[in-house]
Structure 1
Amino acid sequence: MRRVSLIVGLSVAALVAGCAPSVRRAPLAAAVASPIDWREPVPANAVAADTQWWRRLSDPALVPLVERALANNTDVLVAVARVEEAEAAIRQTRAGRLPTLDAQGAAGAQRALNELTGAGAETVFAQPALAGAWNLDLFGRVRALEGAARARYVASQADRDATRLSVVSSTVRSYVTLLSLGAQLQVSRNTLASRQEALRIATDRATVGYSSQLELTQAQSEFEAVAQTIPRIEQAYRVQENALRRLTGDLPGVVARGTLETMALPSPPTGLSSTLLRRRPDLLSAEYAIVAADRQIASRRAEFLPNVQLTGSAGALFVEALGWDPVTLWDIGGSILAPIFAGGRLTAQLDVATAQRDQAAFAYRGAVLTAFGEVENALSGERRLREQFDRVTRRRAILQRSLVLARDRYRGGYAAYIEELDAQRNLFQVDLDAIAVREAQLNNLVQLWAALGGGWEDRDIQVQAKDLGVRALR
């Protein structure tokens, strides 16, 4: 009879297993291939990627800011905590494959009527026991869940590294913007001092009748035009300081800084397009999200199959009426739970998991397209911003000569004051333009470093993923 029961049980399990639905493959539209080469040519002076790339800017005040951001930024701390959560989730799912053992106990007292004697009889008893259960997981439902948890753990590590890279690049860009505002403020103050001297000369000439009141009012207007820009830049500078302190995990306050003029403009980084997918942590995270979704599908599919569980318990019964002489109690058995009708719930759960896998696949494609677009944009900006800075530098030298000529002509009585005002106005604007272009150059360089992964490599994470038994898609 035992052999017959075993054969019948296995036959039922095999029959139900044959009814499990097939798994739909990922959509072909989500596939993406790396381009052969970059559309924008890599600069001839490009250098290899470096994980400490911000040190190439040669600004001593920037290094401690980046280190504080890596240690104290709230986004980084949250990402680290998510890694710990994902690691705990692996242990949680792994526990579903192990036997469980529980302690049970019961005790009580009762008084019942003895029908023969008509007297009451009291009974006191105690019953301790141990109960165990083990889900055999014959069809891998729990193992698939554990595989999904392992893949999410690897993805969380990549997310942590992506967050660090994002925080570092944001900190450097914020610092560059702060230097730009400082340079704009210095140029505005220097220009204001120059306009104040021009206003003094215009006032003296108007007083003695060498020039008209119109020229005086023009000088006064230009002086006020520069003066009104200073409070605006000062406010923007204060806001930028607080934003930078926020990135470093500090309260609002003063930020020690260098100058935009002394910050180096290092050579851009280089990297082959075919290796970009292995050098960006956000792409690795998106890749392992697909792996986790695939394992989730496998777990949902296994729910269509029988679930076999072994149970058992052992204990003793102590009764006062028996002189507390223990009576041994035990039981052992097993159960097979095979779903037959669930109102479409299991099919719907499998469809949900499949749709989530497709979403992860399309999200990966979107992340890859974004990554290549960011690199192409930064490479294009590197060359064009360099050309733009050369042009604005030449124009500044020309306008400086123009201002000297206009000032000499005005003071010699050969031209109206409006010529000198135009030259001053143009030189002030080109000074601000030069600062803006240099800021854009530095920020574009930071963007290029970040787009190429900032020297990050997935080697350590891939080794750990291999140890966990999780494979990437490639």
Structure 2
Amino acid sequence: MKRIVLAVPLVLAACALPGPRRAVPEATAVVPPPAWRSALPATGGAVRAGWWQAFGDPALTALVERALANNVDIGIAVARIEEARASEALARAQLSPQIGGTVPETQGQSISPFGTLTRSAAVQPALSLSYDLDLFGRLRQATRAARAQLLATEAAADTVRLATAATAAQGYVTLRALDHRLAIAQATLAARSDALRIARRRFEAGYTSRLEYRQAQAEYAVAAQLVPAAELAITRAENALSLLTGDAPRAIARGLPLDRLAAPPIPDGLPADLLRRRPDLFQAEQTLVATDRALDSQRAAMLPNLSLTGAAGLVLSTALAQPEVIFSAGASVLAPIFDGGRLRAQERAATARRDQAAFAYRRTALTAFREVEDALAGVRRTGEQAQALADQETAARGALQNATNRYRAGYSSYIEQLDAQRTLLNAELSLAQARADRLTSYVALYQAMGGGWTSADVAAVTR
């Protein structure tokens, strides 16, 4: 059995139980994996080859690419990225000096001791500047937290893209399995129709009893109800895929039949480090980084803060012979003395959020290992099941031919032929489901590995 090699440590410091303090990677130390992504242009169209092309069906490829281009959830995720970018820009702006300007205008009049009335007008343009020295890194840590949160949001969008591609591929495989199920039902109905016609003739000629004729009618009805049930399932599957691709309910284009979809090869011993390509793992890692930086910023808020302020301007007045230059400069120190425990409570809340992110990171990593193992087991076991069912289907078809010949020659009863027909129908339906399950297991493996792999990826990680 092909199994993943777990020799490479994946979960870093976050895998340990949260303690008072942990070292976490820098927000810029980890690069999100772009290898699985499709480079979608703004107007749609052709995209770069993706893992879904390994199944060898152009219709499947076109469906997945349409879903990546038009899916509503992906549009929402992209909008969230823009919001996170704005939040990062806002946090970064806090590190820059704040400059403002005013141009107040005043008018007035005064009476001199000699009774002379004097009117005057003055304009005082001025610039003001304030700058937070950020001695203890409160603003810098907040900026780093915003940056890490942006990376986590981008990874969340990648997770949505990967899930959309996998859902589209699995939906297409399910649709082709339903098409095959419908074909089986229609072929069975045609065979049962011939059997019913023969049973009616034999009954009317007096060669058989009414019991055999009624049994043939019942078996025909069983096959007849399979057709509308399959057609209903196909309609629902097409509607679900239409929603995934951002379209109104419509017919979905088909390509290769179910039994001709390629089963991609799986290299022996997939390295565990390939799991770092998973966008959800990168998202959990960056969320941990963001909460840790936010904790540092909250702790720095409990320390004194030094701000520099200054102002400069001119006084232009009709009462003055020459303009007057005014300016001021100063500094202020703001330190918390008594706040009723507000800052301490905020620090405890930030610590709790950091610990939650650490546990979430560990859970995400363990879930990744489980999903890969489940997918690998699914690929192998469903393949074995499909092979056994294929052998059963071949044997059942031969048994039905023998039973039919014996019945028509008068050597056996009609019930023997009915049993052979039921066995063949169940074998055909089970084989179609097993083949679909095997292909969906491949899709699940691609998704679990963060969007597939190449021989170059495996060789690079192995080295």
Q: Fold conserved (TM > 0.5)?
A: yes
Q: Residues of 2 paired with 1:73 and 1:232: CA distance?
A: 29
Unaligned runs of 5+ in 2: 1-12, 20-35, 38-48, 455-463
| One-letter code aligned to 1:430 | A
Match of 1:287 among 275, 285, 288: 285
Task: Confirm whether residue 349 of structure 1 aligns to residue 337 of structure 2.
Answer: no
Q: Residues of 1 paired with 2:424 and 2:245: CA distance?
A: 37
Matched with 1:109 is 107
Q: Residues of 2 paired with 1:26 and 1:304: CA distance?
A: 26
The answer to whether the Cα contact below 8 Å between 1:26 and 1:357 also exists between their aligned partners in 2 is no
Matched with 2:157 is 160
> SS in structure 1 opposite 2:340?
coil
Task: Confirm whether residue 232 of structure 1 aligns to residue 220 of structure 2.
Answer: no
Q: Residues of 2 paired with 1:381 and 1:224: CA distance?
A: 35
> SS in structure 1 opposite 2:94?
helix
Match of 1:433 among 411, 430, 433: 430
Q: Residues of 1 paired with 2:278 and 2:399: CA distance?
A: 49
Cα deviations by residue, 1:314-358 (Å, 9 ceiling, x for unpaired) = 1122333447x5322211111000111111000011111100000
Task: Confirm whether residue 209 of structure 1 aligns to residue 206 of structure 2.
Answer: yes
| One-letter code aligned to 1:154 | L
Q: Residues of 2 paired with 1:395 and 1:365: CA distance?
A: 44
Report which stretch shifted further, 172-181 or 91-100.
Answer: 91-100
Q: Residues of 2 paired with 1:382 and 1:272: CA distance?
A: 14
Identical residues among aligned pairs (%): 46
The answer to whether the Cα contact below 8 Å between 2:259 and 2:435 also exists between their aligned partners in 1 is no
| One-letter code aligned to 2:161 | R
> SS in structure 1 opposite 2:105?
strand
Match of 2:308 among 307, 310, 325: 310
Matched with 1:59 is 57
Match of 2:295 among 262, 282, 297: 297
Q: Cα 1:265–1:143, aligned 2, differ >3 Å: closer, same or farther?
A: same
Task: Confirm whether residue 144 of structure 1 aligns to residue 141 of structure 2.
Answer: yes
The answer to whether the Cα contact below 8 Å between 1:280 and 1:456 also exists between their aligned partners in 2 is no
Matched with 1:196 is 193
| Aligned 1:10-159 pairs, distance under 5 A | 28-29=16-17, 52-110=50-108, 114=111, 116=113, 122-159=119-156
Report which stretch shifted further, 261-270 or 142-151.
Answer: 261-270
| One-letter code aligned to 2:356 | Q
Match of 1:454 among 448, 451, 454: 451
Cα deviations by residue, 1:116-144 (Å, 9 ceiling, x for unpaired) = 46676544332221111111111100000
Cα deviations by residue, 1:343-399 (Å, 9 ceiling, x for unpaired) = 100001111110000000000111011111111111112221111111111111111
> SS in structure 2 opposite 1:308?
strand
Cα deviations by residue, 1:206-256 (Å, 9 ceiling, x for unpaired) = 111111222111111111111112112111101111111222222221111
> SS in structure 2 opposite 1:403?
helix
Q: Residues of 2 paired with 1:265 and 1:456: CA distance?
A: 14
> SS in structure 1 opposite 2:313?
strand
Task: Confirm whether residue 366 of structure 1 aligns to residue 363 of structure 2.
Answer: yes
The answer to whether the Cα contact below 8 Å between 2:173 and 2:440 also exists between their aligned partners in 1 is yes
| One-letter code aligned to 2:266 | P
TM-score (normalizing by structure 2): 0.84
| Aligned 1:365-404 pairs, distance under 5 A | 365-404=362-401
Q: Residues of 2 paired with 1:203 and 1:412: CA distance?
A: 17
Q: Residues of 2 paired with 1:53 and 1:220: CA distance?
A: 48
The answer to whether the Cα contact below 8 Å between 2:109 and 2:119 also exists between their aligned partners in 1 is yes
Unaligned runs of 5+ in 1: 1-24, 32-48, 458-474
Q: Residues of 2 paired with 1:71 and 1:456: CA distance?
A: 22
Q: Residues of 2 paired with 1:304 and 1:30: CA distance?
A: 23
The answer to whether the Cα contact below 8 Å between 2:189 and 2:223 also exists between their aligned partners in 1 is yes
Q: Which runs of 4+ in 1 moved over 6 A?
A: none
Aligned length: 414
> SS in structure 2 opposite 1:261?
helix
The answer to whether the Cα contact below 8 Å between 1:171 and 1:244 also exists between their aligned partners in 2 is yes
| One-letter code aligned to 1:57 | F
Give the superposed CA RMSD. Answer: 2.3
Match of 1:408 among 382, 405, 416: 405
Q: CA deviation at 1:157?
A: 2.7
| One-letter code aligned to 1:412 | A
| One-letter code aligned to 1:445 | Y
| One-letter code aligned to 2:51 | W
> SS in structure 2 opposite 1:453?
coil
